[in-house]
Amino acid sequence: MKIVLAYSGGLDTSVALKWLQDKYKAKVITYTANIGKGIDSAGLEEKAKKTGALKVYVEDLRKVFAKEFILPALKAGALYEGKYPLATALSRPLIAKRLVEIAKKEGADSVAHGCSGKGNDQVRFELTIFSLAPHLKIIAPLREWKMKSRAEEIEYAKKHNISVSVTKKSPYSIDENIWGTSIECGILEDPNVEPPEDAWTITNSIHKSLSQPQYIKIYFERGMPKKLNGKKYDFVSLIEKLKNIGAKHGIGRIDMVENRLIGIKSRELYEAPAAVILNKALEEIESLVLDRETLHFKEMISNKYAELVYYGLWYSPLKGALDAFLNSIHKKTTGEVTLKLHKGNCIVAGRKSLNSLYNEKMATYSPQDIFSHQSAKGFIELFGLPLKIQALKKTGAKRKKK
């Protein structure tokens, strides 16, 4: 048996690496993706090899993650339950896809992940694997083994000589990538408790954020952010740049109670300055260039798209069809937005586009006005006709009764 394990090098997956070899008499290949801050790949390789890994993969997936996962979600304006920009959720189908590809390349018959039985991520990993390689066996050690606590895992690690860095563990569970950070557990499990300041990892509090407002300009080309303040950036660098600027101004803190897929509610914090800024900016271009019906239809899609991502249905037919719609409407979203960042606020200060449908002569209340005021009378007459007919019927019925 040969297994490809999604491996972070943390306690759970380090223990899983050994446990899989013992329990399944398997050869285990580890796979680690860098989609955030970076990884000490030499250290990770040494650690995995010491714990018996047959082969170690470490890859920088930031570019692919940005282009193929973040960008579609941005074009969709996808926010789960209106708030969560889906950073963690978006990363899972990518990692699972690479697990599948490596399993094929290495002739492995199984893949394994370190998700618990209570979260959304197990669903996202496994649905992706179902979609791409339905015959692969999936193993989730944390759902199988008897160990119930961190202490038991540490004991297992000691017993088997597994090197785990025994740093003082943060009371929170944190998942981080370039699009955002997810924070849960500890005191946060009480939804009525304000998050302690130490729960936030990158953003300034309102109190500590810069006292002066900062203006920024973001230029989009067909829905893709290309320039910041007139300077060209690749997508990953632009996201990182906005993350740092937004964090200084205390932008992108989200505190929510969300509905998990597996039926429970959970309280989660998110920090996603770049996601908040870019979603806001792109929306402003959309407001200029999309006609009313298309814009309203897109608003309906945003919600559905966010659900699909959250539910792990990235490789579903509906998601693909929605992408086609979104790519079509974003042929028009080229233009620039000016934003004012200040004390946790991201305020639009201006927007322009060559594709703008805004017609000043039509909109103005000045003498330059070319709008046909007389036509409005007929429009209202016919638009309101059904209401009139209904009201006439009611009053007619009353008269008859009398």
Q: Would you name the residues annotated as active-site residues?
A: 12, 92, 121, 173
The DSSP output letter for 252 is: -
Sole window of 108-116, 173-181, 211-219, 274-282 interacting with ligand ARG (rule: CB under 6 A): 173-181
Instruction: List binders of ligand ARG among 204-223 (CB under 6 A).
Output: none
- Cβ distance 271 to 181 under 8 Å? yes
What is the spatial distance between Cα 283 and Cα 356, in angstroms, rounded to a whole number?
Answer: 13
What is the spatial distance between Cα 59 and Cα 33, in angstroms, rounded to a whole number?
Answer: 5
Contacts of residue 273, Cβ cutoff 8 Å, sequence gap at least 6: 202, 203, 242, 243, 244, 245, 246, 247, 249, 251, 252
337 binds ligand ARG (CB under 6 A): no
Contacts of residue 58, Cβ cutoff 8 Å, sequence gap at least 6: 32, 33, 34, 39, 41, 44, 45
Of 174 and 224, which has the nearer Cβ to ligand ARG?
A: 174
Token pair 């926010």 is found at: 79
**β-bridge pairing 214-221 and 224-228:** antiparallel
Instruction: List binders of ligand ARG among 258-287 (CB under 6 A).
Output: 268
Sole window of 174-182, 244-252, 331-339, 382-390 interacting with ligand ARG (rule: CB under 6 A): 174-182
Q: Is 248 exposed, middle or buried (0-12, 13-18, 19+ CB in 10 A)?
A: middle
182 binds ligand ARG (CB under 6 A): yes
Of 184 and 240, which has the nearer Cβ to ligand ARG?
A: 184
Extract the tokens encoding 184: 């849960």
Q: Determine the size of the site formed for ligand ARG (CB under 6 A).
A: 10
Contacts of residue 343, Cβ cutoff 8 Å, sequence gap at least 6: 206, 209, 249, 250
Of residues 217, 12, 15, the one with CA closest to residue 117: 12
Instruction: List binders of ligand ARG among 108-127 (CB under 6 A).
Output: 120
Sheet holding 253-259, edge to edge: 173-177, 180-184, 265-271, 253-259
Q: What type of residue is 218?
A: I
| Interface with ligand ARG (CB under 6 A), residue from 112, 139, 183, 245 | 183
- Cβ distance 281 to 96 under 8 Å? no
12 binds ligand ARG (CB under 6 A): no
Q: What type of residue is 117?
A: G
Of 86 and 136, which has the nearer Cβ to ligand ARG?
A: 86
Name the minimum Å distance from CB 309 to ligand ARG: 9
Sole window of 2-10, 158-166, 172-180, 215-223 interacting with ligand ARG (rule: CB under 6 A): 172-180
101 binds ligand ARG (CB under 6 A): no
Of 54 and 174, which has the nearer Cβ to ligand ARG?
A: 174
Sole window of 5-13, 32-40, 70-78, 178-186 interacting with ligand ARG (rule: CB under 6 A): 178-186
Of residues 337, 367, 342, 368, the one with CA closest to residue 353: 337
Of 173 and 294, which has the nearer Cβ to ligand ARG?
A: 173
Instruction: List binders of ligand ARG among 80-99 (CB under 6 A).
Output: 88-89
The DSSP output letter for 236 is: H
Extract the tokens encoding 59: 């890859």
53 binds ligand ARG (CB under 6 A): no
Sole window of 176-184, 193-201, 274-282, 370-378 interacting with ligand ARG (rule: CB under 6 A): 176-184
Of 164 and 306, which has the nearer Cβ to ligand ARG?
A: 306
Enumerate binding residues for ligand ARG (CB under 6 A).
88-89, 120, 173-175, 182-184, 268
